[in-house]
Structure 1
């Protein structure tokens, strides 16, 4: 019967991130840099809000698009946090940003459409686009320090291009798209009448004062879709609460797709999310900033090239010196040196590895000491 499964699904493979994280869990004493998940626990005030909602019997079906009080809270939060002017009806509450991405792409894409995605890219994007029977067109940014080159972008646009998908800060690189990169995306979208999907899940984890977002350009409003999540900035990865922001006609289309995909988000989780948006989580961002500095300095000390990340919680060093593919490198590191990382090949960059520093300082120091031992051994072996 397997041959009767949808061919789009049959070609999917397990996420490389999960593959390595699951093996890492079976190795005693391993330092695990694989999963992009805060080590912090959810704030007690958020948990108390969910508990109260349960006791208040807020356990029934919510409005498909999200409870009005949360949608209003999101609109107010985005106005205060990012100076965005979306009315509450333009907010769709989703099961994390991933479901929001899926609902948005399924709402916009038709069979044969093309989606340009800068690479390295997060592992979820391509499978969703493929499932929509659309084509992923890779924009390689490796030669531009992970920024977008306007000429390279325009050269990829055809009559079939429908959408450009960006994320800033980026997963896996931690890079923030600069002014020129964003202007290139904006100009091409206007020139060729394209949608832009901006995956902004790390926008509250930024370590620079020069952070720009496309949502500040009002001329893009009718073509811009934004996905967001409470997972990273509030340590709520298991709660599965995110949202989509879009111009009202687009938001309504996404809301319909969302309703047929999942019906809605657990009511008590939505109540908890309202409480989360009241909480100042900048201390968490500051913690990641310090860990970025610690991890980056240790990589520099061992002579491993790395573009300095300006957000999120990932380092993406280059390992091309060792002439080993990233999967072999990471398997060796995990099994022989007990430090688990994710091969860059899963993100479209086989000369790199992803290190999540969403762990404590002691683990960063010990894990990178093990990595240093491995690369020292590789260098010594190469010089023999």
Structure 2
């Protein structure tokens, strides 16, 4: 009998629910994609030039495992300016290969086999697997459109057991576009204090909010040293391909994460770090320009979907809209498949992000206004055909 070559841990995790329909779409012509969560803007010129300059100046060696001290110092200024947070650049900030690496390594550094991590859903598809790969057990709690997809204290507390080690939240939310109110975040903070829990807070979309203010979980009273704060450059600065993220935590936790980062990664790409430094120093005007355009598109797609007859929660953050399609008598997957084959518009079934997403689909409006308007015409035609 041949020994099983793949670990049970890896076999227990399904492939990303986002990819299937886009692999199909890639074989088709004239498809409008409202699927992949990626800015359609190119990285702003000054940021790209900073990266190019670093190469021309021969800055092609490894940096410190933690990232260049200049970038960490600038990140500290950035977090202090936005949220009044203070982290020691030497011991409490770590530059990573995107937020994905930061999240996975944070899990590996803090979660033991059997530890439970509570995750509100719908949520980013990598959250559960990141817990599983660390040997932990993801415990999902549902959110609903009636509660604006904000997780409640009651839902989290009902899921807490003696094995619960942490809560993982991601707001502004992918896929719903929901933003947590400060009051609801304070409820979670109270639970974290009461039950002595860590909180992983993925705030990659913190700059992409519309008409509301983002509250960083780490800025809540008593939460700084209980929070593993995750962020990055991909979304706000249109730098997805540069693969640059960061982690902020107490020295104890940051040093433990750094240990894994040392062995697995060494250091984030040097060229990306110099680009990231320029982003923090010079990119604010570009961020505001892109956010303004996302807001314009957001209003058009929400209004358009509602006119078509699809009930649509109004997102206040990120660049996703999450219309409800269950009223058409179709599952999320059937709607997505029919729309792709029938009208060549690619979107993502809502239940790819968890059971609470059943009956919804995710559409990304980080694409041109022409694409959005044409997609709305095609969606309306498809809905009418049903």
Aligned residue in 2 for 1:229? 232
> Which residue pairs with 1:341 in the alignment?
347
Is the Cα–Cα contact under 8 Å of residues 195 and 223 in structure 1 kept in the other structure?
yes
Q: Report the more deviating stretch, 345-354 or 194-203.
A: 345-354
Task: Name the structure 1 match of 2:4.
Answer: 3
**In the alignment, what sits opposite 1:92?**
94
Does residue 1:262 correspond to 2:265, yes or no?
Answer: yes
Instruction: Provide the secondary structure at the position in 2 that maps to 1:16.
Output: coil
Name 2:81's counterpart in structure 1: 80
Task: Please give the alpha-carbon distance, in whole angstroms, between the structure 1 residues aligned to 2:221 and 2:325.
Answer: 41
User: Matches of 1:209 and 1:325 in 2, distance apart?
Assistant: 32
Write the distance in 2 (CA, Å) between the matches of 1:324 and 1:172: 20
Separation of aligned partners in 2, 1:351 and 1:183: 30
CA distance in 2, matches of 1:2, 1:83: 54
Identify which of 248, 265, 290 aligns with 2:251.
248
User: Shift of residue 322 of structure 1?
Assistant: 2.0
Structure 2, unpaired ranges of 5+ = none
Deviation string 1:18-64 (CA, Å, 9 cap, x unpaired) is 22222222211111001010111111211211111112211111111
In 2, distance between residues paired with 1:258 and 1:185? 29
Work out the CA distance in 2 between the residues paired with 1:344 and 1:136: 19
Which deviates further from its counterpart, 22-31 or 351-360?
22-31
How far did 1:210 drift? 3.8
Q: What secondary structure, in the 3-state scheme, does the structure 2 residue paired with 1:222 have?
A: helix
Distance in 2 between the 1:210 and 1:100 partners? 25
Residue of structure 2 aligned with 1:354, choices 329, 349, 362 = 362
- Displacement, 1:125? 0.6
- Worse-superposed segment, 233-242 or 126-135: 126-135
* Match of residue 363, structure 1, among 371, 377, 385: 371
User: Shift of the alpha carbon at 1:2?
Assistant: 8.6
Out of 215, 218, 236, the residue aligned to residue 218 of structure 2 is 215
| Counterpart-to-counterpart distance in 2, 1:248 and 1:17 | 35
Q: C-alpha distance in 2, partners of 1:51/1:264?
A: 19
SS at match of 1:164: strand
Q: Which moved more, 1:7-16 or 1:217-226?
A: 7-16
Whole-Å separation in 1 of the counterparts to 2:277 and 2:89: 13
Cα shift readout 1:208-250 (whole Å, capped 9, x = no counterpart): 2343232221411121011101000111000000000111211
Alignment match, 1:58? 59
Task: Select which of 129, 132, 135 maps to 1:133.
Answer: 135
Residues 308 and 5 from structure 1, CA distance in 2 versus in 1: closer, same or farther, beyond 3 angstroms? same
Cα pair 1:148 1:184 within 8 Å, conserved: no
Which aligned pairs between 1:152-191 and structure 2 lie closer than 5 A? 152-191=155-194
Shift of 1:131: 1.2
Partner SS state of residue 240, structure 2: coil
Cα–Cα, structure 1 residues 28 and 99, in superposed 2: closer, same or farther, change >3 Å? same
Unpaired stretches in structure 1, ≥5 consecutive residues = 379-384
Could you say which residue in structure 1 is the equivalent of 2:290? 284
- CA contact 2:186–2:220 (8 Å) conserved in 1: no
Post-superposition shift, 1:16? Answer: 1.9
Please tell me whether residue 46 in structure 1 is matched to residue 52 in structure 2.
Answer: no
187-196 or 45-54, larger mean C-alpha shift: 45-54
Is the 1:20–1:34 contact (alpha carbons within 8 Å) kept by the matching residues of 2?
A: no
User: Is 1:296 the equivalent of 2:302?
Assistant: yes
- Corresponding position of 1:12: 13
Alpha-carbon contact 2:123-2:353 (below 8 Å) kept: yes
